Chains A and B, each alone.
Chain A
Amino acid sequence: MHRLSHISTRSRSTLADKLRSAVGGSDYGKSKQALAAGSIAAKDENGEDFRELYVMPKRKLRGQIQLEQNTGRAEIKTRSRFDLMDRLAERPPRSEEMDPEKHKWSDVWPAARTFAASVVPLPVRMGSRPNVEKRAPFKKEGNLELVKIPNFLHLTPVAIKQHCDAIKKFCTPFPPELIATPSLAATCLPISVQYSTYIHQGTNIRDIRSRVVTMIVDVESLKLTENAQEKFIRLAGKRYNKESKKLTIITDRCHTRKQNLDYAHYLLTVLYHEANKVEQWAELKERSDNLQVEFEGSETKTKLVDLIEKAKTAGLKPDESSITEFGEMWKSYRNSEETVDKTREYGRQMKKLLGISGNN
């Protein structure tokens, strides 16, 4: 290459430099000028060496260099780093090559896993910034917020459909009777048992929460007598829900689910048999021991009957037939929380009973 290099050596400037100097000439032979300037400045007018006053070291301090580099006045000398090959070994994100026609997403992301920016070919963004209108939330690359949240990329509708199709061969048909009349479930399947199984990645397959068993029994289907049912409810305490008429037994005192399930069955059995027993002291039960205040035999009823009698004699036309209706209302009024509506209803019924018209 340098067959003619002596020319450039002699002139010490390239052709382009010469052309530049032909126009402006200001920067011609920069190096030469600098050299000349240096040699002149080194002597004072008496021909003696110019001794500079020492104010600060001639070299630039590190802070100064950094400042210059940061403001773009000084060139940053880049050095090759020895880990070059390792840096080069980084591959482009593989999501770039994914083609929705050629690749199935469920092959790429078959099971739950943490978000990986290089795999998910979606331009998702996440995070909060003060002015979203001005600057969009952060990109997916290196975005911790995306890693933290659980994602359901493995449960796309297509994947779920595939899974369903795959396991369909293990399924038996749902009882057709239950589809026809869903209410059959309550009568035919009076007991339901609920428990949870916990699966997670780790060294331990046990989870203490999986031992808990919840058993829900439809009390009606036990076909208890009235007394037995009352006893049953008393024994069950707050485990009995009087609205749904269901008994809920939660057992968690044993170590395993099986033991807890057995224990729940045991409790139900004991409860049943205990409810059916009639003890001697049970005969001592009085009206005030009832679970609910009954209209029949109550003081209100005798007073009402008296009142109606009196009203009759006073010439009013009380509605005697509605006393049963009033009794039902009274029972629910006495046995539940008092509300404005109920009080109004009470008044309405009373007026009706006494034959006082609503307009008066």
Chain B
Amino acid sequence: MIGRIGLSRVLTRGLSSGEAAKLTIQPAIERSPTDLLNALSETVGPDTTAPHFAYIDDPITIPSTQSAKKTYFMAKEFGKRAARELATEWPTLFAFDRDQPRLPAFRPQHLADPFQVDPTEKSLLKMIKSREVQDSCVLYERLRSENVEVSEKVQLELFRLVAYYNSSNIPFSEWQEWAGIRNFGEESNGKWKTGGVADLLFETLQKTDETVSIMIAALCKFHDSQSVERAKELYKEHQTGKIHLEAFNGLIGASSFNAAKKLAAEMNSLKISPNISTFNALLFSAAKISKYEEKIKAFSEIIAEIRELDMEPALSCYYIIVKNLIDSKLLDKEKRGENEEQSYNKQLTLAVSWISEILNEIEGDIVFFKKRLKIRIFHIKIDFLQQNVISEPIFRSKFFKMYDFSHRFCQNQGISDENYKNLAPVTSQCHLFFVEAMGVLYRASNEKLAEQLRNIYESSQNSIKMPVFTVESTFYNRYLQLAIEQTPSLNRIQELYFSMVPRLVGVNNSLTSLVFRKISASSERNWPLLRRAIVDGITAGQLNGVLGEEMRKQLSNVQLHTLGTSEREQYTTLVQKLVAVWIEFSQFTEERMRRLQRKLSPSQISECALLLTRIGEQQKAYELLELLLDENASSGEEATVYPKGHARPWAMAELFEDALRKKDTYGAALCLEILSLTANRAKLEPLVNRMVEKCNVNQEQARILQGFVRLRPQ
């Protein structure tokens, strides 16, 4: 510091006066540490060809299907966890202390063992803080058995924790560090554990407003009929006190709509102002109404009530509504009767109109929010001006304070002038609205609204995001299938499909068959789309069964002369690959591999042979066809061909024609023999005549051919 002060003296003396003032250096524009990074990141858009960033960007590691994504993600995560476990067990082996700042992830620690730690209140508090629910229960019981005094404050802390989590460890959905487990882990919503530590603590602690409220909320959170009864009893017993909002929310959600309305009135009389969770609970209880019209009426009332209170309904409110707009009984198409079909259509129409309203509401909010904000601030200003004389200095400062306040208020609400986000998650269920609404729109085949919904979801104002590999992929899958279903243009399908598969939507059977259906139905030709659908099918293991058959059909429908040179090359490689794979599947003849075997069916062989002749591989095609005539290929342990089924007549006819065109007597004879397996003499005779005519057949051969046909049945 001495240097700095000294220098300023040196320079002021050293530089003649006035010289430094010559330069006009503007003051720096203020920015936060991340502003530059944000600005730079705005130049980067989504890369539609890339996989999700969780995966290594390499052809062999990019997962194509949903299950592959899950497996890969979980494998990565469990690998990491295994590494952590090793580092915990043998910390000295991994003590490569170079990290600055220190990263706790490199020094994982075993959790404190409740049987080993000091039996003190301090260690109990520590455990409560780290949310080790079961461990803290064990430690608490140990403290009691060792007669260690636990203060009321700590007991209350423990009670809060234990009641909230029902004396079991925190659910997967609250695991912060491990995204895989959080999203893929499944858990049943348990019932209230009676006689556990929570009950014990509740008996021990004083019955204050808080403890009773916690207990009621917990009983309603883990509800069965008994626990709800008990919660209601507690509520009645505690009429003298004033229970908290959360307890009311729990009670409302657990009761019928009529009871819920009474509870809400009670809240009003106690002057407890409701929050969004209250309305969610109300909507939840309204959803229990069995009569459809009443249910819808109740929903409208609740939404009107929210607006009355000058609140914005959260997306979770809309989620509950949308989820219940169609009776769950009517959802299964096969179980619907004619009457039910009618009411289903009615409900679907209503649901779509609700969604349309909701979307307009949300979108309008995003667009007009900023305007409204400014208007509100402006009103505050005007009011103030009217009330006070602005020229007075004291009022002026007050005015600015007021102005500041309104700004700060907006910022606290997450709304700043530049960086406002209107759609922000309020409850943990907000994101489900998108997928639920998309489900309804998919049922109703309403592409326009689906597009609008997608735009809202992807807009920069929306900060509600669905978990990527579970909910979000369902959302996009529904959208994609709907969009593909609705459009007649193959180019549009190509655009959509290329940009979403497999990045957002995993390859799945219904999607692939939909694409094939659209390709067949369309008069356009789109080789890139067909190729991509088939390649995706290969990577997703859809080669066998119906989709494999569809692939062969699509490939044989391709008119080779319409393809360019490079496209024809692609066609050739694709056919070669497919045939090779099918043959490889059929050759799993060893005992231990047989579960992988998919034998070639005669129809498959004929189609493959046809595709091979198309790409000019006649030799291979005939080798394949010979399998049909080879006894050993279809029987015994080493069989690679199904003994049942027939070769496709149209494919065989084309192969036969091809052989004739090439004047290939033996090829034609092979086709003829295969045809003879299904055709009678009358059909074969003209074929033989043509063969004799076209190919170079000597007399002996002609005699053999005639004899062959004569032996066929009439």
Residue positions of A touching B, CB distance < 8 A:
1-5, 7-9, 14-16, 18-20, 22-23, 78-82, 84-85, 88-95, 97-98, 103-104, 106-108, 110, 116, 118-119, 159, 162-163, 165-167, 169-173, 175-178, 184, 187-191, 203-206, 221-223, 262-270, 272-273
Q: Nearest chain B CB to A343's CB is how many angstroms away?
A: 40
Expressed in whole angstroms, the Cα–Cα distance for A319 and B64 within the complex equals 97
Decide if A1 touches B646 in the complex (CB within 8 Å). yes
Contact of B631 among A5, A104, A204 (CB under 8 A): A5
Do A79 and B587 form a contact, CB below 8 Å, given A7-B711, A103-B49, A269-B6?
Answer: yes
Decide if B677 touches A1 in the complex (CB within 8 Å). yes
Decide if B50 touches A94 in the complex (CB within 8 Å). yes
Contact of B6 among A18, A89, A266 (CB under 8 A): A266
Expressed in whole angstroms, the Cα–Cα distance for A219 and B470 within the complex equals 68
Expressed in whole angstroms, the Cα–Cα distance for A84 and B47 within the complex equals 30
List residues of chain B with CB within 8 A of the CB of A222. Answer: 10, 14
Contact of A15 among B10, B541, B672 (CB under 8 A): B672
List residues of chain A with CB within 8 A of the CB of B590. Answer: 79
Known: A8-B631, A91-B535, A106-B44. 11 other contacts (CB 8 A): A15-B670, A90-B59, A91-B62, A94-B50, A104-B45, A108-B47, A119-B57, A167-B40, A175-B24, A176-B24, A190-B15
B581 interface contact, C-beta 8 A? yes
Q: Nearest chain B CB to A122's CB is how many angstroms away?
A: 15
B117 interface contact, C-beta 8 A? no
Do A188 and B23 form a contact, CB below 8 Å, given A107-B47, A118-B59?
Answer: yes
Decide if B677 touches A2 in the complex (CB within 8 Å). yes
Expressed in whole angstroms, the Cα–Cα distance for A169 and B31 within the complex equals 10
B42 interface contact, C-beta 8 A? yes
Q: Nearest chain B CB to A79's CB is how many angstroms away?
A: 7
B3 interface contact, C-beta 8 A? yes
Q: Which of A14, A79, A176, A204 has the most B CB atoms < 10 Å from its CB? A: A14
List residues of chain B with CB within 8 A of the CB of A204. Answer: 98-100
Expressed in whole angstroms, the Cα–Cα distance for A78 and B585 within the complex equals 12
Decide if A262 touches B584 in the complex (CB within 8 Å). no
List residues of chain B with CB within 8 A of the CB of A166. Answer: 39-40, 42-43
Give residues of chain B (34-66) contacting chain A, Cβ–Cβ below 8 Å. 35-36, 39-40, 42-50, 57-60, 62-64
B1 interface contact, C-beta 8 A? yes
Decide if B100 touches A97 in the complex (CB within 8 Å). no
Q: Which of B9, B49, B647 has the most A CB atoms < 10 Å from its CB? A: B49
Do A167 and B584 form a contact, CB below 8 Å, given A97-B498, A222-B10?
Answer: no
Contact of B40 among A22, A163, A172, A203 (CB under 8 A): A163
Expressed in whole angstroms, the Cα–Cα distance for A265 and B46 within the complex equals 48
Contact of A3 among B20, B62, B101, B677 (CB under 8 A): B677
Return the chain A residue nearest B103 by Cβ: A203
Decide if B28 touches A172 in the complex (CB within 8 Å). yes
Q: Nearest chain B CB to A176's CB is how many angstroms away?
A: 7
Decide if B643 touches A1 in the complex (CB within 8 Å). yes
Which one of B293-301, B305-313, B549-557, B698-706 is at the A interface?
Answer: B698-706
Residue positions of B touching A, CB distance < 8 A:
1-4, 6-7, 9-11, 13-16, 19-20, 22-29, 31, 35-36, 39-40, 42-50, 57-60, 62-64, 68, 98-101, 103, 106, 498, 502, 532, 535, 538-539, 541, 543, 581, 584-585, 587-588, 590, 593, 596, 602, 626, 628-629, 631, 634, 643-647, 665-667, 669-670, 672-673, 676-678, 697-698, 700-701, 704-705, 708, 711-713
Decide if B29 touches A172 in the complex (CB within 8 Å). yes
- 20 inter-chain pairs at a CB distance below 8 angstroms, sorted by A residue, are A3-B677, A7-B711, A8-B631, A14-B626, A18-B704, A23-B701, A82-B593, A88-B543, A91-B60, A97-B498, A166-B40, A172-B28, A175-B25, A191-B7, A205-B101, A221-B14, A223-B15, A268-B3, A272-B10, A273-B6
Do A94 and B20 form a contact, CB below 8 Å, given A18-B704, A265-B3, A266-B6?
Answer: no
Expressed in whole angstroms, the Cα–Cα distance for A216 and B10 within the complex equals 15
Expressed in whole angstroms, the Cα–Cα distance for A88 and B59 within the complex equals 11
Q: Nearest chain A CB to B556's CB is how many angstroms away?
A: 21
Q: Nearest chain B CB to A254's CB is how many angstroms away?
A: 12
Return the chain B residue nearest A162 by Cβ: B43
List residues of chain A with CB within 8 A of the CB of B678. Answer: 1
Return the chain A residue nearest B584 by Cβ: A80
Decide if B4 touches A262 in the complex (CB within 8 Å). yes
Decide if A92 touches B535 in the complex (CB within 8 Å). yes
Contact of B585 among A15, A84, A173, A184 (CB under 8 A): A84
Q: Which of A84, A89, A162, A262 has the most B CB atoms < 10 Å from its CB? A: A89
Decide if A110 touches B44 in the complex (CB within 8 Å). yes
List residues of chain B with CB within 8 A of the CB of A159. Answer: 43
Decide if B7 touches A80 in the complex (CB within 8 Å). no
List residues of chain A with CB within 8 A of the CB of B538. Answer: 88
List residues of chain B with CB within 8 A of the CB of A178. Answer: 23
Decide if B666 touches A20 in the complex (CB within 8 Å). yes
Return the chain B residue nearest A85 by Cβ: B541
List residues of chain B with CB within 8 A of the CB of A107. Answer: 44-47
Decide if A173 touches B50 in the complex (CB within 8 Å). no
Expressed in whole angstroms, the Cα–Cα distance for A125 and B622 within the complex equals 40
Decide if A203 touches B99 in the complex (CB within 8 Å). yes
Return the chain B residue nearest A159 by Cβ: B43
Decide if A80 touches B585 in the complex (CB within 8 Å). yes
Decide if B26 touches A116 in the complex (CB within 8 Å). no
Return the chain B residue nearest A167 by Cβ: B39
Q: Nearest chain B CB to A63's CB is how many angstroms away?
A: 25
List residues of chain B with CB within 8 A of the CB of A167. Answer: 36, 39-40
List residues of chain B with CB within 8 A of the CB of A89. Answer: 60, 63-64, 68, 539, 541
Do A82 and B596 form a contact, CB below 8 Å, given A1-B645, A22-B704?
Answer: yes
Do A266 and B587 form a contact, CB below 8 Å, given A15-B704, A203-B99?
Answer: no
Q: Nearest chain A CB to B596's CB is how many angstroms away?
A: 7
Contact of A97 among B49, B103, B584 (CB under 8 A): B49
List residues of chain B with CB within 8 A of the CB of A169. Answer: 29, 39
Contact of A80 among B587, B629, B634 (CB under 8 A): B587
Q: Nearest chain A CB to B46's CB is how many angstroms away?
A: 7
Decide if A203 touches B22 in the complex (CB within 8 Å). no
Decide if B631 touches A9 in the complex (CB within 8 Å). yes
Decide if B539 touches A269 in the complex (CB within 8 Å). no
Q: Nearest chain A CB to B12's CB is how many angstroms away?
A: 11
Decide if B23 touches A177 in the complex (CB within 8 Å). yes
Expressed in whole angstroms, the Cα–Cα distance for A184 and B21 within the complex equals 12
List residues of chain A with CB within 8 A of the CB of B16. Answer: 223
Q: Nearest chain A CB to B147's CB is how many angstroms away?
A: 47
Decide if A108 touches B49 in the complex (CB within 8 Å). yes
Q: Nearest chain A CB to B266's CB is how many angstroms away?
A: 54
List residues of chain A with CB within 8 A of the CB of B676. Answer: 4
Expressed in whole angstroms, the Cα–Cα distance for A206 and B98 within the complex equals 9
Do A22 and B4 form a contact, CB below 8 Å, given A170-B29, A172-B29?
Answer: no
Decide if B40 touches A177 in the complex (CB within 8 Å). no
Q: Nearest chain B CB to A103's CB is how many angstroms away?
A: 7
List residues of chain B with CB within 8 A of the CB of A104. Answer: 45
Q: Nearest chain B CB to A359's CB is how many angstroms away?
A: 52
Expressed in whole angstroms, the Cα–Cα distance for A85 and B596 within the complex equals 10
Q: Nearest chain B CB to A108's CB is how many angstroms away?
A: 5
Expressed in whole angstroms, the Cα–Cα distance for A221 and B12 within the complex equals 11
List residues of chain A with CB within 8 A of the CB of B631. Answer: 5, 8-9
List residues of chain A with CB within 8 A of the CB of B498. Answer: 97
Decide if B59 touches A92 in the complex (CB within 8 Å). yes
List residues of chain A with CB within 8 A of the CB of B643. Answer: 1-2
List residues of chain A with CB within 8 A of the CB of B28. Answer: 172
Expressed in whole angstroms, the Cα–Cα distance for A155 and B459 within the complex equals 28
Decide if A190 touches B14 in the complex (CB within 8 Å). yes
Expressed in whole angstroms, the Cα–Cα distance for A103 and B48 within the complex equals 8
Decide if B60 touches A263 in the complex (CB within 8 Å). no
Return the chain A residue nearest B38 by Cβ: A166
Q: Nearest chain A CB to B382's CB is how many angstroms away?
A: 32
List residues of chain B with CB within 8 A of the CB of A263. Answer: 3
List residues of chain B with CB within 8 A of the CB of A85. Answer: 541
Expressed in whole angstroms, the Cα–Cα distance for A189 and B587 within the complex equals 81
Q: Which of A9, A15, A84, A170 has the most B CB atoms < 10 Å from its CB? A: A15
